[in-house]
Chains A and B, each alone.
Chain A
Amino acid sequence: MNKSRFLAVVLGAMALTTLTQCFTDKQNQGQKLYVQHCQSCHMEDGSGLRGLIPPLAKADYLQTHRDELACLIRNGADGPMVVNGIEYNKEMPGVHTLRKDEITNLLNYIQTNFGNNNKRYTMTEVEEMLEICPVPHGK
């Protein structure tokens, strides 16, 4: 293969990749939502902040409280919470504007990254959880 042909192929492939990216902004939605809403406190690697902000990375809480997480993301959390044996007590603001599909993607991102290898959610599952959220704190 001559050089210019090779170059053309490479450029073509790059253009195609770029173009397809434009039509799939749903891709990595979970990760994008994480960066937007969670990362500043829970950090890029999900490690949290010592005794102040609980980790998401390898957090037992993700499994032991699996069914409460959808409501926790939407409405926030308040009061003491034990994660991996350490008690945390800092208010977490909820993101009330997130739709059920967004919450599903976000939860699946968290459950399968940062060293987590937990069961994914279906959207129906998340929808059912959101229907029976406890009354948000202070509301």
Chain B
Amino acid sequence: MNLRTNYSLKQTIVASAFILASALTYSCQSNSAEQKLPILGSREPVERVVDGKTIVDTVYHQITDFAFTNQDSQRVTQETVAGKIYVTDFFFTTCPSICPKMKSQMLRVYEAFKDNPNVVLLSHTIDPAHDTVGVLKEYADRLNVETDKWHFVTGDRDSIYDMALQYFVGVQEDAQAEGGFAHSGDFMLIDQNRHIRGHYHGTEQEDVDRLIKDMKVLLKEQQHEQK
């Protein structure tokens, strides 16, 4: 009995050593190869017939078309972000809880990529009744950021809340919440095909560090695709 236990212990050690070794080898390999971010959201196989053969394509969750107005009264649509990667979030200017922290972290993203024409930031207000173009303009001016790099958008309330669903960001009007709205502090990273490629906690510095790193990976991938 004792012998048998020892034997299985030995086996376990050997097995775990093997797994560890292969995991290490594998991770080293994937590190040296091109790193790739996952595509988040639902996916479904779509069959199509080409030359009598059935081909299965995977269709990924894609952000739908949208139309909002930014702090300079310009229309912001899917065309604004065409061919670019962008980071998006949901906030409101009078938010007393997590928004200032989110904005201070988003400023770090802004500073890191302000000279890169392939990056856009897109912040949606969830309080369009209060956050008019004028209010957003003053907000952006006080943050001292350029409009064509960082769009603060407002629009039809329902369209904004529908877009939040598209990005998987939780938002709702909530009289119990500080400031009257409950929302998550998520930053979502979207690629040039409007697929969601990452999700980050906008109030946590380490997670925003990860976002900045992932954006560099995504930009490389984008360059690669264009070649």
Residues on A lying within 8 angstroms of B by beta carbon are 40-41, 43, 47, 49-53, 91, 93
Contact = CB atoms under 8 A, between A and B. Distances in A.
Contact of B94 (A43, A51, A91): A91
Contacts of B98: 40
Interface of B: 94, 96-98, 100-101, 103-104, 107, 139, 141-144
A43 B143 contact: no
Contacts of A40: 96-98, 100-101
A41 B143 contact: no
Given A41-B96, A91-B94, A93-B96, A50 B143 contact: yes
B139 A52 contact: yes
8 contacts: A40-B96, A40-B98, A50-B107, A50-B142, A50-B143, A51-B141, A51-B142, A93-B96
A91 B95 CA distance: 11
Nearest to A86: B142
Contacts of A41: 96, 100
Contacts of A93: 96
Contacts of B94: 91
Contacts of A53: 100
Contacts of A51: 141-144
Contact of B144 (A43, A47, A50, A91): A50
B100 A43 contact: yes
Contacts, number: 32
B104 A49 contact: yes
Which of A41, A49, A50, A52 has the largest count of B CB atoms less than 10 A from its CB?
Answer: A52
Contacts of B97: 40
A49 B144 CA distance: 11
B101 A52 contact: no
B139 A43 contact: no
A43 B141 contact: no
B139 to A, nearest CB: 7
A58 B32 CA distance: 47
Contacts of B141: 51
Contacts of A43: 100-101, 104
Nearest to A91: B94
Given A41-B100, A52-B139, 10 more contacts: A40-B96, A40-B100, A41-B96, A43-B100, A47-B104, A49-B103, A49-B107, A51-B141, A51-B144, A91-B94
Contacts of A91: 94
Contacts of B100: 40-41, 43, 49, 52-53
List 7 A-B pairs, minimum CB-CB distance, nearest first: A51-B142, A41-B100, A52-B142, A49-B100, A50-B143, A49-B104, A40-B97
A63 B55 CA distance: 73
A16 B135 CA distance: 54
